[in-house]
Amino acid sequence: MRAAGPARWRRLRPWFVVYLTTVAVVSVVAGIVWNRMVDLPSYVISDDFRARITESGLSQIVATDVVYTMIGAVAGAILGVTAWLLFRELGWPVTVIATVGALVAGVLTRIVGEFMGPRHFEDRIAAATMTDLVKVDFTAHTWVPLAVWVGVAALAVLIGSLLRGPRWIAHVPEGREGADSAGEQVG
């Protein structure tokens, strides 16, 4: 495959704007969907002003990370396919573009989702009175799900390159143009 020269990069510059816009839109939509899909557990303020949560509520806290991971699988696939469709003629750099785009989208999604809240658990629970329900903060608890975002984007590029079919590059010794070393036509 030919190396991507300056003219090719200039020709693809508008598509980078399209891809960055796609990353931004996917991030905002994914952040909103993530925030709306998670049913956060609540602490109950008892008569003695102790905050209690059920075991089921404790396990629901993990749902934030699980939903973020599932959304990342879908968003990573969208961003990987988009990168492949826009930049496949660049060769291997399309993988870098797709993975960086997915990484940025994952971080932006986390920022959007957490910004939508609820936030400031300490302040809300301090202001609570008896029998109030105080939801836990909406936050991801680990950065590990970002690996799913990036991995699925790279996988989409890999699958795209496999489905496109091979572009054979044959070295033809001097004096034998039009034939490979076994005497067959190169085509």
- What is the Cα–Cα distance from 19 to 26, expressed in whole angstroms? 10
- What is the Cα–Cα distance from 151 to 180, expressed in whole angstroms? 38
pTM of the predicted model as reported, rounded to 2 decimal places: 0.78
Q: Is 23 domain-assigned?
A: yes
Length of the chain: 187
15-70 pLDDT tens trace: 999 999 999 999 999 999 999 999 998 889 888 888 888 898 888 889 999 999 99
Using alpha carbons only, give the angle 129, 137, 115 rounded to the nearest 5 degrees. 125
Token pair for 141 = 């608890």
Q: Is 182 domain-assigned?
A: no
- What is the Cα–Cα distance from 82 to 99, expressed in whole angstroms? 12
- What is the Cα–Cα distance from 81 to 183, expressed in whole angstroms? 39
62-91 pLDDT tens trace: 999 999 999 999 999 999 999 999 998 888
The whole domain housing 159 covers 6-164
Q: Is 66 domain-assigned?
A: yes
Number of domain units in the chain: 1
Q: Is 172 domain-assigned?
A: no
For residue 116, give the 3-state DSSP assignment.
helix
Q: Is 169 domain-assigned?
A: no
Q: Name the residue among 138, 143, 18 with its Cα closest to residue 72.
A: 143
Q: Is 143 domain-assigned?
A: yes
